[in-house]
Chain A
Amino acid sequence: MTNWWPPLTLVGSWLALLALLALTVTLAYLPLGSFNSAVAIVIAAIKATIVAAFFMELRDRGARLLIFAGAGLFWLGILLWLGLMDFMTRTPA
């Protein structure tokens, strides 16, 4: 077995992901009212970004690949934005 050690960026990403998991579970128990769900979604987005940038290596890729990788999110944005527009604005919360 050749002498291989995991790069510090991967180890750092992994530790940051576990720290964010601990943070989001802790914050979920604090009474923040309607901010609880916003905090949970923002932390989930940060975790997803870390996975995409470091584990999926997007931070080393050029514009063409980023456009392909972003296409899914773009379409998801259209689906949620146009789809939820009526429900969020015309029905009582």
Chain B
Amino acid sequence: MPKGRAFAPQYASVQHRDETAEIGMWVFLATEVLLFGGLLFAYFVYRHANPAAFAEAGRHTRIVIGTANTAILLTSSFFVACAVNALQADARRTCIAMLVSAMLLGLLFLGLKAAEYAGEYHEHLVPGVDFSYVAPLADGVELFFIFYFVATSIHAVHMVIGIAVLATLAVLLRRSASTRMRAALHSAALYWHFVDVVWIVLFALIYLPGRSGT
């Protein structure tokens, strides 16, 4: 982009540029919905075929860590929404503080997830690495844990990318808070909230089945 211009020549105005960025971000998120959609589809097919096994496997997940991680992610999303709002109000330092808080919560989420994976490894519940589960429904339980590890690890990769993006924005915002930076922060916030929504769905499908014993 040439110096001294707020927006590239293909745009008529700053608003035009920002609206294009926002719509482009939603198009990208639609492709992400379909990436996780394939996983959801597989989950529902196998759960329909193995309802008792999925309930039994759900009881083996760690509900306390899962619930804590959900609360952590919801709170981090709240901080990111606050960061966007604070920047609109020209409270740049508050915005950066909110971004750093959200990043720290994201790292806490990943730490708890790692502890959870370690626990499952010790219980021999990792298909393809070390899976031994002696029960009539072992095959269905293994299918559940294949979904669990594929879905949560793809989600964790998204978390790592999200934390890196927030960190980049926090550094750039220390230097300047141009309208370009505001648009960039808005796109990054949409990504972070999307990763939060994916977790909301995964939480309901992974941690809640089978808790009532039925």
Range of interface residues on B (Cβ < 8 Å):
35 or more
Q: How many A-B residue pairs have CB under 8 A?
A: 147
CA distance A50 to B164 in the complex (A): 25
B26:A69 contact, CB within 8 angstroms: yes
CB neighbours of B93 from chain A (8 A): 1
Task: Indicate whether B193 reaches chain A with its CB closer than 8 angstroms.
Answer: yes
Which A21-59 residues have C-beta < 8 A from chain B? Answer: 21, 24-25, 28-33, 36-37, 40-41, 43-44, 47-48, 51-52, 54-57
> Which of B41, B77, B78 has the largest number of chain A CB atoms within 10 A?
B78
The main secondary structure of chain A at its interface with chain B is: helix
**Contact check: which of B33, B44, B81, B211 meets A29 at CB < 8 Å?**
B211
**Contact check: which of B49, B90, B91, B197 meets A48 at CB < 8 Å?**
B197
Quick one: closest A residue to B41, CB to CB?
Answer: A83
**Contact check: which of A37, A41, A75 meets B30 at CB < 8 Å?**
A75
Q: Which 6 A-B pairs have the closest CB atoms?
A: A72-B30, A72-B33, A4-B91, A44-B204, A14-B78, A28-B211
